[in-house]
Amino acid sequence: MNKPFTPQLVYFEPKALDYPLGKELKEKFDKLGIETRFTTSHNQIRDLPGETDAQKYRIAKSTLVVGIRKTLKFDTSKPSAEYAIPFATGCMGHCHYCYLQTTMGAKPYIRTYVNVEEILDAADKYIEERAPEITRFEAACTSDIVGIDHLTHTLKRAINHFGQTELGRLRFVTKFHYVDHLLDAAHNGHTRFRFSVNADYVIKNFEPGTSPLAKRIEAAGKVARAGYPLGFIVAPIYIHEGWEEGYRHLFERLDEELPQDAREDITFEFIQHRFTKPAKKVIEKNYPKTKLELDESKRRYKWGKYGIGKYIYQKDEEDELKDHLYGYMEKFFPNAKIEYFT
């Protein structure tokens, strides 16, 4: 995706227009000539266009719903943060393995909440409760927040907000490169900006609708030069022909782009490709032509919560992936911190 996301259709909860951001978005979309409709609740959009399920899914992925977040109780978000901060849900990307297909099942549309100040006030209460401990908030649990932030600037407000708190920290991850408006935010080192990266083959074949690798890496360079603590999630690590070379090349390119002084505080998270039986079903429905390898008989079964286990790589394959990825990281970024390999 080389152009920032523009929705094809926008729904508003009427009360969202009582908030400055709601009003601003309505004016913006009216000016752009984008169709807007009203909905009584952001939880239920009854008249989404489309004849078949496949059409409905595609249209939903380019539909924005502007609403008010009523529940200000945050979910936990272990291990990377204490809480998930709810600014948005859904994503315009079409990654074949996206976990939102199962977690957001019936609501693949993109939602943004306009009561940002109330959400930030709720975050402040969580910070107070845990003081003097640091409290971390993850903003990308249910969406790719950077992908829509050029429209809302909610993330920018949040970065400025956490920049001023003593004990609050923000983090998120993205597959998009539209970061320019975030570069002058007063982050104060309190926001860790992470990019999801992968071997070229994986991005080209399985991540339509997201930014190409070269653009993500360029954006990571900008973010590093703006002084943000930086991180990378290499996920899903996927075995394909020439994967060793593919992942090596990824690290070489990161090495070319990132300034030396950004390397002292950089984190890596590694997640091997996995799937569950319910996820496989949804992927095959939403992306019937995918080349994604989802053969249970080639994988190792790992028991999971609620009886739904995951299929991960065989032990010897996992060890090989780990050896290579750790090796590249140590060669190119010897001072980086590994958060986990899973």
Nearest approach, Cβ of residue 92 and ligand SF4 (Å): 7
* Type of residue numbered 106: A
Nearest approach, Cβ of residue 143 and ligand SF4 (Å): 6
Strands 63-67 and 110-113: parallel
Q: Do the beta carbons of residue 113 and residue 87 sit within 8 Å?
A: yes
Would you count residue 93 as binding ligand SF4 (CB under 6 A)?
Answer: yes
As separate numbers, helices (DSSP H) first and strands (DSSP E) second, the chain gives 11, 14
Would you count residue 100 as binding ligand SF4 (CB under 6 A)?
Answer: yes
Closer CB to ligand SF4, 81 or 100, in the complex: 100
Closer CB to ligand SF4, 65 or 91, in the complex: 91
Stretches 93-101, 112-120, 251-259, 309-317: which one binds ligand SF4 (CB under 6 A)? 93-101
d(CA 170, CA 192): 6
Would you count residue 269 as binding ligand SF4 (CB under 6 A)?
Answer: no
Would you count residue 138 as binding ligand SF4 (CB under 6 A)?
Answer: no
Would you count residue 98 as binding ligand SF4 (CB under 6 A)?
Answer: yes
Burial class (CB in 10 A: 0-12, 13-18, 19+), 31: exposed
Determine the 3-state secondary structure of 325 from DSSP.
Answer: helix
Q: Do the beta carbons of residue 76 and residue 114 sit within 8 Å?
A: no
Residues in 150-189 that interact with ligand SF4 by CB under 6 A: 175
Would you count residue 210 as binding ligand SF4 (CB under 6 A)?
Answer: yes
* Type of residue numbered 339: E
| Count of residues that bind ligand SF4 according to CB under 6 A | 8
Binding site for ligand SF4 (CB under 6 A): 91, 93, 95, 98, 100, 144, 175, 210
